[in-house]
Amino acid sequence: MQLPAIPQLETERLVLRGPEASDFGPVAAFFADEARSWGFGGPLDRNEAWRWFTMSVGHWAMRGFGFWTITCKQTGEPLGITGVWQPEGWPEPELGWVAFPAGEGRGIMAEAALAARTHAYEVMGLPALCSNIFPGNTRSVALAERLGAVFEAEFDNPKHGRELVYRHPAPEAPCDGGMEAYA
């Protein structure tokens, strides 16, 4: 199972590209920071973070989709990750996101996640997407709502425990400015 040709997505300010070995540094720093990573299965030490990062590379091979690294179009600096993932046990593909410190604010994560969601709907042809968010992760909830997602249900994730399922607008009913802006 080889890696697929991972499509590169461009937005006004960002380039979303496939993972590269050099992305491990910022991914490990993210997982080491409990305040930042508790809503994403963290904290993880550097060795555990390497397993997660390596799994995320293998995820592209196993599923044909996965996490992009969000980079600044101007500088190439990694700003976070976003993408669609569905490890075994996930009931459906999930749109996920992680902001590195450099990717906070300025609507960067919304811009990146919207590009990933648009790709998932229009190129991958997914009929629906959810984002599963830990209770209390208000920043992630705010981003989900900004993307037009609404709370749907609670869900017991086999890896992470109780999560809140936020349902994204379906492909045929994009939220304000959504699909048109990136079509």
Partner 1 sequence: MTSRQFAAPLGTAVCAAPGLTENYAVSSILLHRMGEKDAGRPAARAMGYDMKDAQRRYPRLVSKRLMLISPADPEFDAQAAFLAPDSPRFINVADDADSLWWSIATIIGHWHLHGYGLFAVVERSTGSTVGLVGPWFPKGWPEPELSWHLMETGEGKGYASEAVQCVLDWLFNAAGWDTIVSYVPEENTASIALARRAGAQPERLVSFPLQPAPGLRCWRHSPPGRSSSPHHARGLLH
Q: Is 91 in the site for partner 1 (CB under 8 A)?
A: no
- Sites for partner 1 among residues 2-21 (CB under 8 A): 2-9, 17-21
Q: Please report how close the Cβ of residue 170 comes to partner 1 at its closest, in angstroms.
A: 25
Contact (Cβ atoms closer than 8 angstroms) between residue 99 and residue 67: no
- Sites for partner 1 among residues 127-166 (CB under 8 A): 158-159
Smallest Cα–Cα separation from 119: which of 57, 168, 179?
179
Measured CA to CA in angstroms, residue 147 lies from 26, 112, 121, 137, 150 at distances of: 25, 11, 14, 16, 9
d(CA 181, CA 129): 19
Q: CB-wise, 33 or 48, nearer to partner 1?
A: 48
Q: Is 87 in the site for partner 1 (CB under 8 A)?
A: yes
Q: Is 119 in the site for partner 1 (CB under 8 A)?
A: no
Q: Is 46 in the site for partner 1 (CB under 8 A)?
A: yes
Q: Find the binder of partner 1 among 34, 51, 101, 122 (CB under 8 A).
A: 51
